[in-house]
Amino acid sequence: MNNTEAFRAIVENTTVDLPLDRAVALIAGIANETVLPSEILAKFDEMAGACDAKSVLGLMKFLFGPGKFAGNTIKFQDPANSLFDSVLVRKLGIPISLSVLAIEVAKRKEFELLPIGMPGNFLVRSSHDDDLYFDPFRGADPLSSQACADLFVSLNPQSPWSDSYLRPTTNRAVIIRMLTNLKMIYIQTNNTVGLRWVMRLRLMFQEVAVLEKDQWARLMRSTN
């Protein structure tokens, strides 16, 4: 089974929530055939093994900060920020990829961080404290729900705040959002090769295919 087939298998298995670590590892392997997804998974294991944190806050301080993983504020639109072979080597990412990193290392330490799909800036939240959030893109410091709302307003001054933005989302929704980011980057940079593989993966999600199958057909006609 190649990486694309393996990705399809986990997407189509709706009996369990989609495994984030395998999904992002496979995406990296599909984007670059020289990348081995197993090495990305092993790196998650290695980081968890090197972390002796006894709390979620300790884990976040282990992962994020000066000289550690950080947000790529200079080249935010670089697709490498969403591809985990690059994220793990460069220690740079965007909010959603760094949040996935935190979730997966936390899981291996038997902590649980929940994915929070706040529009404009992905976050994570402790499963044991409804008011303990983190923004890995900006560092390891904890945030309250009010601080998250303030962040949203600062990033989206024309948009009204909703408490629903802090509800946990599903792993499936996380991966769709990551692929949406890549899709938009490849459209903006006129990268047809990148757009084709991203669209193939997106159409494996039935809820996306219903909306985007016509767009895919137009893309195929324009590039064949």
pLDDT range class, residue 18, cuts 50, 70, 90: very high
Q: How confident is the model at residue 102 (pLDDT cuts 50, 70, 90)?
A: very high
Q: Find, among 134, 136, 153, the residue nearest to 144 by Cα.
A: 134
Least Cα distance to 28 among 223, 194, 219 occurs for 194
Return the bridge partners of 125, or none: 114, 133
Amino acid at the residue 164: S
Instruction: Identify the pLDDT of residue 210.
Output: 82
Tokens coding 112: 């649980």
pLDDT digits (tens, 9 = 90+) for 108-162: 999 999 999 999 999 999 999 999 999 999 999 999 999 999 999 999 999 999 9
User: Domain spans of the chain?
Assistant: 3-191
Alpha carbons within 13 A on the beta-carbon side of 19: 12
In this prediction, residues 41-53 reach a mean pLDDT of 97
What 3 state SS string does 95-118 have?
HHHHHHHHHHHHHHCCCCEEEECC
Q: Are 107 and 100 in contact (CB under 8 A)?
A: no
The CA distance from 87 to 175, in Å, is: 16
Helix (H) or strand (E) holding 220: helix 206-223
Please report which confidence band the pLDDT of residue 41 belongs to, taking 50, 70 and 90 as the band edges.
very high
Confidence of residue 16 (pLDDT cuts 50, 70, 90): confident
- Which two tokens mark 186? 């490849």
What single letter denotes the amino acid at residue 184? Answer: M
Question: How many angstroms from the chain centroid is the CA of residue 143?
Answer: 19
Q: Beta-carbon neighbour count of residue 111 at 10 Å?
A: 22
Regarding pTM above 0.75, the answer is yes
The mean predicted confidence, pLDDT, of the chain is: 94
pLDDT tier for residue 51 given thresholds of 50, 70 and 90 = very high
- If residue 173 lies in a helix (H) or strand (E), which one and from where to where? helix 171-188
